[in-house]
């Protein structure tokens, strides 16, 4: 079952582009990565799905309900961690969390305590006294305390130290294991690679590609590095070779196609070293930007 169905969703802010004809589905129980550079339309998409803003055209459904019509009903089962966290400055952490919990029909006290302990959040400090990272922790706890079925994470790790990031990822994996669907937006590819099963790549307001993270890595490119005496770039002038670089006696390139063609070339050489690797998502990603 699709938890999120987006169809030809378009949003213009006056004349300036938000997103144009974006379509994708997110299935129940998956962690969907949504990557793109700043200003590509990641936040716009999330804000449309939360009906913080209204679409210019197209439709979006969450839990099989239209987001514009049934917004408040849908949001009962949604947790949202915005990229920039701001809360009522005068309130204490505990009061904000209680206020947040009071919107949901659940007794969240136990879970609130568990989550704050896990994130090492001090409950009795004033929001205005908190550092950015600590505010982010408040955001994480308030986004999760009502046990939502769908999580929107908009660049969630900014401001968290590496240790907290790891705890946070563990927490998200645990939630996911319970069946929670996660929509994870980021421009940091490493974290998407670590966490997500499927990714959508957005650039300049349009979806460039949607695929499994594995197929994205496997079916496309291999990263090849060959080291042999007297090697020059010309030795690997094959169809399917891109980004060919040679320095001293080492050649790097990306290859797409039948890998045997490369292996045959290599077998004719007296090599010192060979490596054929999966490219990182970062390297694939750069490809979409060129």
Partner 1 sequence: MSATIYMHEFRTRLRSVAIWAVSIAVLVIFFFSLYPAFARDATLLNEMMARFPVELREAFGIGNVDMSSVLGFYSFLFVFVQLCAAIQAANYGVGLVSVEETELTADFLLSKPVSRSQVFVSKLLAAFTSLAITDLVLWLSSFIAVLLFRGERSYETSTLLLLFVSIVIFQLFFLSVGLIISLLVKRVRSVTPYALGLGFGMYVLSAFSGVFKDVKLEYITAFKHLDPAYMVEHGAFNTPLVLLNVAVTLVSLAASYWLYLRRDIPAVS
Q: What does the binding site for partner 1 look like in residue numbers (CB under 8 A)?
A: 13, 43-44, 47, 50-54, 71-76, 78, 80, 82-84, 86-90, 99-100, 102-104, 142
Closer CB to partner 1, 22 or 224, in the complex: 22
> Token digits for 100?
């947040």
Q: How far is the CB of 206 from partner 1 (least distance, A)?
A: 19
Return the SS3 of 229.
coil
Helices (H), 108-161: 109-118, 132-144
Q: What are 207's strand-pairing partners?
A: 202
Q: How far is the CB of 93 from partner 1 (least distance, A)?
A: 13
Closer CB to partner 1, 126 or 214, in the complex: 126
Closer CB to partner 1, 74 or 112, in the complex: 74
Q: How far is the CB of 223 from partner 1 (least distance, A)?
A: 34
Q: How far is the CB of 37 from partner 1 (least distance, A)?
A: 14
| Pair type for strands 222-227 and 273-277 | antiparallel
Q: How far is the CB of 84 from partner 1 (least distance, A)?
A: 4
Cβ-defined contacts of 98-105 (< 8 Å, 24+): 100/142, 100/145, 101/145, 101/146, 103/146, 104/76, 104/146, 105/76
> Token digits for 24?
């994708």
Closer CB to partner 1, 202 or 284, in the complex: 202
Radius of gyration over alpha carbons of the chain, in Å?
Answer: 23
> Token digits for 10?
């378009």
Report the run of H or E that residue 23 belongs to, with start and end: strand 16-27
Closer CB to partner 1, 49 or 262, in the complex: 49
Which of these, 15, 76, 88, 11, lies nearest to 46 by C-alpha position? 11
Closer CB to partner 1, 103 or 289, in the complex: 103
Q: How far is the CB of 71 from partner 1 (least distance, A)?
A: 6
Closer CB to partner 1, 149 or 198, in the complex: 149
Q: How far is the CB of 125 from partner 1 (least distance, A)?
A: 18
Q: What are 79's strand-pairing partners?
A: 151
Q: How far is the CB of 80 from partner 1 (least distance, A)?
A: 4
Closer CB to partner 1, 54 or 174, in the complex: 54
């Amino acid at each position: 079952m699709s938890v999120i169905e987006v169809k030809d969703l378009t949003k213009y802010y006056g004349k300036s582009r938000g997103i144009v004809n974006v379509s994708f589905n997110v299935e129940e129980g998956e962690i969907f990565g949504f990557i793109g550079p700043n200003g590509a339309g990641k936040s716009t998409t999330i804000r449309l799905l939360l009906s913080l803003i209204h679409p210019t055209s197209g439709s979006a459904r969450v839990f099989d309900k239209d987001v514009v019509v049934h917004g408040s009903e849908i949001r009962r089962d949604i947790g949202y961690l915005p990229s920039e966290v701001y809360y009522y400055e005068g309130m204490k952490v505990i009061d904000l969390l209680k206020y947040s919990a009071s919107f949901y029909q659940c007794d969240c006290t136990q879970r609130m305590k568990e989550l704050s302990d896990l994130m090492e959040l001090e409950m009795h400090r004033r929001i205005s006294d908190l550092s950015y990272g600590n505010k982010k922790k408040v955001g994480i706890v308030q986004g999760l305390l009502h046990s939502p079925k769908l999580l929107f994470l908009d660049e969630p790790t900014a401001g968290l130290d590496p240790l907290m990031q790891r705890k946070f990822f563990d927490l998200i994996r645990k939630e996911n294991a319970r069946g929670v669907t996660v929509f994870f937006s980021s421009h940091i590819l490493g974290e998407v690679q670590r966490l997500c099963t499927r990714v959508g790549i957005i650039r300049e307001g349009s979806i460039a590609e949607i695929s499994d993270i594995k197929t994205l890595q496997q079916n496309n490119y291999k990263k090849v590095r060959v080291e042999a005496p007297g090697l020059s770039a010309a030795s690997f002038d094959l169809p399917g070779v891109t980004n060919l670089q040679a320095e001293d006696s080492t050649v790097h390139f990306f290859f797409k196609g039948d890998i045997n063609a490369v292996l045959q070339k290599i077998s004719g050489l007296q090599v010192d070293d060979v490596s054929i690797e999966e490219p990182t998502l970062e390297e694939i990603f750069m490809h979409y930007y060129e």
